[in-house]
Amino acid sequence: MILGWTIVQRSVRERRYQIAAGALLTLCACALSAAALVLDPRYPAWVWSAAVVTALSAVIAVRAIAGARTTLEIAVGDDGAIRVRDSAGAAGERSGDCAFIAPWLITLRCGTIWVPIWPDSLPESAFRRLHACARWGGVADTRALDKSENHEPAG
């Protein structure tokens, strides 16, 4: 194996971004609620519906940030295939296709699940190996292939 089973830790950087997004969403919810209470809008249903939607979004965001994420493990086989599994072993092993590759983030698509892997969520050597194998394997997005094909009529 190029990379043995390695636990994907919760990223500090990802957590900071989530907290900032939750704080911004909560601030927007408070501002819309205050505007709905204080101002005399011409369309009160629109303002109140926006206030309710952002308040519900803020509650969902705070619950998602506070909630525990399942611990995942990642491995790269000798063939360069990336595999992802749940540490508890409940879901089994899945192959991961790269959806996004950059030095600051690798995003894997495992069926309908998106797995973000930040540099601080793996040991440095493991992230480098995963990054190299992901780049070597290519991106699984087929839209890029469709644009590059030549569709000229035969004649």
Q: Which among 49, 66, 83 is the end of a domain?
A: 66
Q: Which among 36, 66, 96 is the end of a domain?
A: 66
Considering the domain architecture, whether residues 46 and 78 belong to the same structural domain is answered as no
Q: What is the number of structural domains in the chain?
A: 2
| CA–CA dist 59, 65 (Å, integer) | 10
Range of the domain at 28: 12-66
Mean pLDDT across the chain, nearest whole number? Answer: 78
How confident is the model at residue 155, as a pLDDT?
Answer: 47
| CA–CA dist 130, 68 (Å, integer) | 25
| CA–CA dist 3, 96 (Å, integer) | 14
* Tens of pLDDT, residues 129-149: 888 888 877 555 445 444 544
How confident is the model at residue 22, as a pLDDT?
Answer: 81
How confident is the model at residue 91, as a pLDDT?
Answer: 62
How confident is the model at residue 41, as a pLDDT?
Answer: 64
Residues of the chain with pLDDT under 70: 40-41, 68-69, 88-91, 138-155
In a domain, 103, yes or no: yes
